[in-house]
Structure 1
Amino acid sequence: MTGLIVPPGQGRKLITPAQEVTFKATEAHGSSISIFEVVVPPGFDVGAHVHNHSQEFFYVLEGELDLLAFEPTKRTEESWQDWESSGGDHVVRAGEGSCMFVPPGTPHAFRNGTDKPARMLFQSYPSPDHEHYFEEIVEIFSAPTVDPEAVEEMRRRYDVSQITPLRYEPPALHAARTAEPGGQAR
């Protein structure tokens, strides 16, 4: 039997304006867990969502991410950043070395609310659901405009029940959108 060694920077890369995903260990390698390295740009919010059959593990390698992994007392459709669990859990700003485990059926999300890219190790079980998901999302995100219906339909096929919207607003776009004439932010 032979294992797998993947040097730094190596692996199959999928790059979109919204994410960079490097496949590290996949079903093709004989792994029952899909393992990826993901670069999360500033302004990216995956949106709160639930998987009924898969479990996930996230480990922050560089930067900071806002993380959520609990059922809130009240779900809201626009934003998850203010959610609270019945036990008093809140969204956490997680830095290097922080991790998040998400069992099936648990609402979860991550967002890069900083002005610097973050990098995380992401594991998903069972393989290859997220491998196919990432391959399809590259096609959707590579279009001149992102089709929200295409994202929604793809997520349904891959056991993703979206609660709040997936959002990606690069810092320059956000600054331009919120600036009033004269350069003042609203």
Structure 2
Amino acid sequence: MSGLILPPGQGRKLITKAQEVTFKATKADGSDVSIFEVIVPPGFDVGAHVHADSQEFFYVLEGELEVMAFEPALRTEDSWHDWESPEGDQAVRATEGACMFVPPGTPHAFRNASDKPARMLFQCLPSPYHETYFEEIAEIWAAGGIVDPQAIEELRRRYDVNQLTPLRYDPPTLHPQSETKRGA
């Protein structure tokens, strides 16, 4: 049996307007853990969710993400950004080198509130839940137009994702800067 070696930038890619996922090690490679490199664009918020059976690990390679992994004292349906655990835990700013481990049954979320893309290594056990999930959500995003929240909800339910707050993708609007003319 042989291992798998991938040079930088290699792996099967799924690219849509809302995500870029590169499959690094999958069930097809003999891995029990699905491993991905994910580019998280500015304005992307995965929404708080929980898995009954899956565990996840996130490692920030570049950029920054706001992350949380705890049961809040009070769940709100619209946003997780102000959630606080009974012990006082809150969402944190995760920069290069920060990681987050999420055992089954733990509400968690991440978002890119910055104006630059973030890049993370993401692992999920068991394989292939998230592999198939990423493939199907890429098809939904690729269809264009407004994403049907019901389609996302049905997809997530099939892949052990209990969505607690909405998935959102609101890319920042670029405003052209006015140029100032300098006199001679």
Shorter-chain-normalised TM-score: which range?
A: over 0.9
Question: What is the aligned partner in structure 2 of residue 155 from structure 1?
Answer: 156
* TM-score, normalised via structure 1 length: 0.92
Structure 2 matches for 1:97-116, cutoff 5 A?
A: 97-116=97-116
Distance 1:147 1:138 in 2: 13
Q: Which aligned segments of 4 or more residues in structure 1 are displaced greater than 4 angstroms?
A: none
What fraction of aligned residue pairs are identical, expressed as a percent?
76
- The 5 A counterparts of 1:2-151 are 2-144=2-144, 145-151=146-152
**Residues 85-116 of structure 1 deviation map (CA, whole Å, 9 limit, x = unaligned):** 01110100100000000000000000000000
Quote the offset at 1:81 in angstroms.
Answer: 0.7
Q: Write 1 or 2 for the structure with the bigger share of helix.
A: 1
Aligned pairs, how many? 174
Deviations 1:53-110 (A, max 9, x none): 0000000000000001000000000110111001110100100000000000000000
2:42 is paired with a residue of what secondary structure?
coil
Counterpart position of 1:168: 169
How much does 1:172 deviate? Answer: 1.3
The one-letter amino acid paired with 1:103 is P
What CA distance in whole angstroms lies between the structure 1 residues aligned with 2:15 and 2:110? 19
Unpaired segments of 5 or more residues in structure 2? 176-184
SS class of match (2:173): helix
Q: Which has the larger radius of gyration?
A: 2
Gapped regions of structure 1 (runs ≥ 5): 176-186
1:25-68 deviation line (CA, Å, top 9, x unaligned): 00000000000000000000000000000000000000000001
Instruction: Note the aligned Cα RMSD (angstroms).
Output: 0.9
Pairwise CA distance, 1:143: 1.6
